[in-house]
Amino acid sequence: MAKGVAEARIAVIGAGLMGHGIAQVFALAGHDVTITDTVMQNLDTVIARIAANLRDLGDDPQAIARVRPCVDLAEAVREADYVVEAVSEDLALKQKLFVQIERHVRPDTILASNTSVIPITAIMSGLNRRERALGTHWWNPPFLVPLVEVIETQWTEPELIAWTMQLHRAAGKAPAHVMKDVPGFIGNRLQHALWREAIALVEGGICDAETVDAVIKASFGRRLAVLGPLENADLVGTDLTLAIHNTVLPAIDSRPTASPYLQKLVADGKLGFKSGEGFRKWSAKEQAALRAKVMQHLKASRGT
Ligand X SMILES: NC(=O)c1ccc[n+]([C@@H]2O[C@H](COP(=O)([O-])OP(=O)(O)OC[C@H]3O[C@@H](n4cnc5c(N)ncnc54)[C@H](O)[C@@H]3O)[C@@H](O)[C@H]2O)c1
Count CB atoms within 10 A of the CB of residue 285: 8
Distances (CA, A) of 121 to 4, 63, 94, 165, 183: 26, 34, 12, 19, 10
State the nearest-atom distance from the C-beta of 12 to ligand X, in Å. 10
Task: Closer to ligand X by CB, 245 or 293: give it.
Answer: 293
Q: Is 62 helix (H, G, I), strand (E, B) or coil?
A: helix
Q: Is 39 in the site for ligand X (CB under 6 A)?
A: yes
Among positions 132-191, residues that touch ligand X (CB under 6 A) are: 138-140
- 188 catalytic residue (yes or no): yes
Nearer to ligand X, 26 or 138 (CB): 138
Minimal CA–CA distance to 173: which of 137, 222, 134?
A: 137
Residue from 8, 10, 18, 265 in contact with ligand X (CB under 6 A): 18
Q: Which stretch binds ligand X (CB under 6 A): 111-119, 121-129, 166-174, 252-260?
A: 111-119
Identity at 31, one-letter amino acid code: H
140 vs 154 by CB, closer to ligand X: 140
CA distance 10 to 70: 13
Residue 223's Cβ-side half-sphere holds a number of Cα atoms within 13 Å equal to 10
Write down the least CB distance from residue 252 to ligand X, Å.
26
Annotated catalytic residue 286: no
CB of 168 to ligand X, least distance (A): 14
Using alpha carbons, select from 119, 112, 101, 127 the residue that is nearest to residue 18: 112
Contacting range for ligand X; rule: CB under 6 A; set: 109-117, 128-136, 153-161, 242-250: 109-117
Q: Which of 188, 197, 203, 259 is catalytic?
A: 188
Helical pair 46-57 and 17-28, crossing angle rounded to 10 deg: 60
- CA 245, 246, 247, 250 dihedral sign is positive
Site string for ligand X, 62-91 (x = CB under 6 A): ------------------------xxxx--
Binding site for ligand X (CB under 6 A): 13-19, 36-39, 42, 86-89, 93, 97, 114-116, 138-140
Active centre residues (catalytic): 116, 137, 149, 188
